[in-house]
């Protein structure tokens, strides 16, 4: 692309960084001040620290040890800034824009993974009845007698997710899909309910159908 063919305004409007918040972390081949100025020349708003209010995170070398964890904490709640490396920045400086564009409005876009399940797995080892008075979301294809059996243990069950839901039950099939990096209708429903809500944190605990049934059988033997 020949930059001289465009005015400064045209260049800014075409740049993927125009009006976008960008965080730099690590070291780069360019001096920090020079890199920031180059990005600002493309319309970027340079921000300090990784947060949910970012459009881009640019990773250099020797990034802080907690960077991956900070990005994961954002992804946990559905916030996914576009992650770039030095080569991506070089491509953008050369005018290769189309692959790097992101919407101006930042919105949550949760995509459930097996890591979500591992991070949010409900703990049945708390003693007593850890589900007592909790509200569980049950997908449509679980055993129909679960509602009564859970009610006998002082647990509320609901076929829908709402603001009172505490724990989301995943079928064994959905768990297998998560483990294999796949999705299904039940998982998409959970994602859509959260993405369409005003919530800024995915606060639910997750449990597998088999885990719940095993806990119930033990409770019913008492």
Domain range 114-221, CATH class? alpha beta
Question: For the chain, which residues score pLDDT lower than 50?
Answer: 1-12
pTM of the model: 0.86
What local confidence, expressed as pLDDT, does residue 57 receive? 98
Q: Which residues pair with 57 in a beta bridge?
A: 23, 83
- Length reported for the chain: 222
What confidence score (pLDDT) does residue 218 get?
A: 92
pLDDT at site 122: 98
CATH architecture of 3-100: 3-Layer(aba) Sandwich (3.40)
Structure tokens at 44: 């970027």
Structure tokens at 169: 């039950």
* CA distance linking residue 108 with residue 204, whole number of Å: 16
Residue 56: its pLDDT value, please?
98
Q: Could you tell me the residue ranges of all domains in the chain?
A: 3-100, 114-221
Angle of helix 172-179 versus helix 209-221 axis, rounded to 10: 140
The pLDDT score that the predictor gives to residue 38 is 96
pLDDT for 142 equals 84
């Amino acid at each position: 692309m020949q930059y001289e063919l465009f005015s400064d305004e045209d260049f800014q409007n075409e740049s993927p960084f125009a009006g976008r918040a960008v965080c730099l972390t690590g070291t780069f081949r360019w001096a920090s001040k020079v890199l920031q100025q180059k990005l600002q020349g493309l319309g970027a708003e340079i921000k300090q620290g990784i947060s949910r209010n970012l459009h881009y995170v640019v990773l250099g070398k020797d990034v802080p040890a907690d960077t991956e964890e900070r990005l994961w904490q954002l992804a946990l709640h559905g916030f996914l800034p576009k992650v770039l490396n030095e080569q991506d920045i070089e491509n953008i400086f050369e005018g290769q824009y189309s692959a790097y564009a992101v919407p101006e409005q930042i919105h949550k876009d949760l995509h459930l993974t097996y890591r979500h399940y591992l991070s949010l797995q409900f703990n049945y080892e708390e003693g007593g009845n850890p589900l007592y008075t909790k509200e569980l979301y049950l997908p449509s294809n679980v055993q129909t007698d679960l509602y009564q059996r859970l009610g006998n243990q002082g647990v509320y069950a609901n076929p829908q997710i709402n603001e009172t839901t505490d724990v989301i039950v995943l079928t064994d099939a959905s768990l297998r899909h998560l483990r294999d990096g796949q999705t299904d209708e039940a998982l998409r429903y959970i994602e859509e309910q959260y993405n369409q809500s005003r919530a800024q944190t995915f606060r639910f605990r997750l449990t597998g159908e088999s885990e719940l049934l095993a806990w119930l059988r033990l409770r019913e033997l008492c």
